[in-house]
C-alpha cells in the first residue's frame, strides 16, 4: 500500500507538470494566434452615426457666404464578405435643420466600402471606388504615432498626427489632428474646370486600446482658384458628432477596452502564470522527493543490471 501511494505521488507530479505546460502553451497560443483571429469587425456590423453643424455656402448674388444649419445621419451596415474583407454599405443623409429640407442630393450619397476586418484598413481593389488608408484608427495609438485616414472630400488618405493625451468625460483618450492648407485637388468639371483646393482641420479624440473615436470635429473649406480673384472659398463646413453619438461611442469604447483588458491581456497571462507555477511546483516536488530518497539511503535512479557472460 505504501509503495502504491509513492507511485501515485510520482504520477501526480508528472500530471502537474503536463497540465502546467499545457496551460502555458494555451496562453501563448491565445495571445499569438487565437485572439487575433477573433479580434475583427463582426460580419453583422451595423452602426448609425449622427452629426450636427453648419455649411457656409458661397452666394454669387450677394458675394457672401450663406449659413445653413444641418444635421447628418450616416448609416453603415455590413452587406457581405470577401475572404477577410468586410463590405459595408454607407448611406449619408443631410438635412437643413432649420427648414427640414432634405439636402442629400447635394451633400449626401451612398458608398460601398471594403475594409480589412483585422487592420481596419481599406482594401483598394474592392468597393465602389479605390480607397487607401484607414477606415478607422488602428488600436494601441500613443505619443508620436501617425496614421493615414481616408478623406472623401480630398479623395485620398490624409495624415493624422498625435497631439496630446487627455481625459474626455472621465475616459483617457489620445488626441490626433489632421491639418491641410490649400491642398490642390485639380480641375473640377462642375466649376468650369477651375482648380479646386481643400483646407481642413480635423480633431479626433480616440480611446487608444480599442481605437474608438469618441469625439470628432471637422472644419473643411473647399475653394476655387478664380481668375483675377485668387483662391475663393466655395463651401465651409463645420461638423461635429451629435451628443447621442458621443454617448453611444463612449459606451462602446468603455465596453471594448474592458473586454480587451481581460481577453487580450489578463486571462492569457494569468493562464501562462498559473501554468508556470504548476510546472515549477512539480519540479520542486520532484526535487524534494529525490532529496528524501537520498537521505534515506535510497538511490534516486536504480540502474538495471547488465548481463554478464560466463
Residue 110 lies in a domain: yes
* pTM listed for this prediction: 0.79
Number of folded domains that form the chain: 1
pLDDT in tens, 177-217: 999 999 999 999 988 999 999 999 999 999 999 999 999 99
Ramachandran category for residue 36: left, alpha or beta (phi over 0 → left; psi -120 to 50 → alpha): alpha
Q: Answer whether residue 284 is part of any domain.
A: no
Decide: 167 and 173 in contact? Cβ < 8 Å.
yes
Distance CA 203, CA 219 (A): 9
Residue 80 lies in a domain: yes
Mean pLDDT taken over the chain: 87
Is 91 within a domain?
yes
Asked if residue 310 has pLDDT above 50, the reply is no
Q: Which domain holds residue 218?
A: 37-262
Q: How far apart are CA 310 and CA 308, in angstroms?
A: 7
Q: Is residue 31 part of a domain?
A: no
Domain membership flag for residue 4: no
Return the residue matching grid coordinates 480607397. 131
97-116 per-position pLDDT tens digit? 999 999 999 999 999 999 99
Q: Is residue 274 part of a domain?
A: no
Q: Which residue has the cell 534516486?
A: 300
pLDDT above 50: residue 175: yes
Question: Domain of 45: which CATH number?
Answer: 2.30.230
Domain for residue 115, yes or no? yes
Amino acid at each position: 500500500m505504501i509503495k502504491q501511494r509513492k507511485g501515485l505521488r510520482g504520477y501526480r507530479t508528472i500530471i502537474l507538470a503536463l497540465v502546467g505546460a499545457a496551460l502555458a502553451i494555451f496562453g501563448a497560443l491565445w495571445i499569438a494566434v487565437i485572439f487575433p483571429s477573433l479580434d475583427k469587425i463582426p460580419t453583422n456590423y451595423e452602426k448609425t452615426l449622427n452629426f450636427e453643424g453648419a455649411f457656409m455656402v458661397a452666394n454669387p448674388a450677394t458675394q457672401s457666404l450663406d449659413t445653413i444649419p444641418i444635421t447628418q445621419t450616416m448609416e453603415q451596415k455590413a452587406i457581405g464578405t470577401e475572404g477577410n474583407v468586410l463590405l459595408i454599405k454607407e448611406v449619408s443623409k443631410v438635412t437643413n435643420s432649420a427648414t427640414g429640407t432634405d439636402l442629400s442630393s447635394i451633400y449626401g450619397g451612398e458608398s460601398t466600402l471594403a475594409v480589412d476586418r483585422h487592420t481596419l484598413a481599406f482594401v483598394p481593389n474592392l468597393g465602389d471606388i479605390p480607397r487607401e488608408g484607414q477606415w478607422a484608427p488602428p488600436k494601441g495609438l500613443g505619443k508620436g504615432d501617425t496614421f493615414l485616414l481616408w478623406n472623401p472630400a480630398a479623395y485620398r488618405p490624409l495624415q493624422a498626427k498625435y497631439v496630446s493625451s487627455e481625459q474626455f468625460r472621465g475616459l483617457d483618450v489620445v488626441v490626433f489632428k489632421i491639418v491641410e492648407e490649400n491642398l490642390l485637388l485639380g480641375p473640377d468639371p462642375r466649376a468650369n474646370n477651375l482648380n479646386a483646393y481643400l483646407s481642413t482641420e480635423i480633431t479626433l479624440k480616440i480611446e487608444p486600446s480599442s481605437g474608438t473615436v469618441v469625439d470628432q470635429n471637422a472644419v473643411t473649406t473647399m475653394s476655387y482658384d478664380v481668375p483675377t480673384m485668387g483662391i475663393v472659398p466655395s463651401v465651409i463646413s463645420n461638423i461635429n458628432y451629435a451628443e447621442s453619438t458621443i454617448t453611444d461611442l463612449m459606451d462602446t469604447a468603455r465596453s471594448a477596452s474592458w473586454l480587451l483588458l481581460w481577453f487580450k491581456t489578463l486571462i492569457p497571462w494569468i493562464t501562462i502564470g498559473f501554468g508556470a507555477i504548476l510546472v515549477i511546483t512539480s519540479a520542486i516536488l520532484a526535487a524534494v522527493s529525490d532529496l528524501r530518497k537520498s537521505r534515506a539511503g535510497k538511490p534516486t535512479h536504480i540502474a538495471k543490471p547488465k548481463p554478464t557472460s560466463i
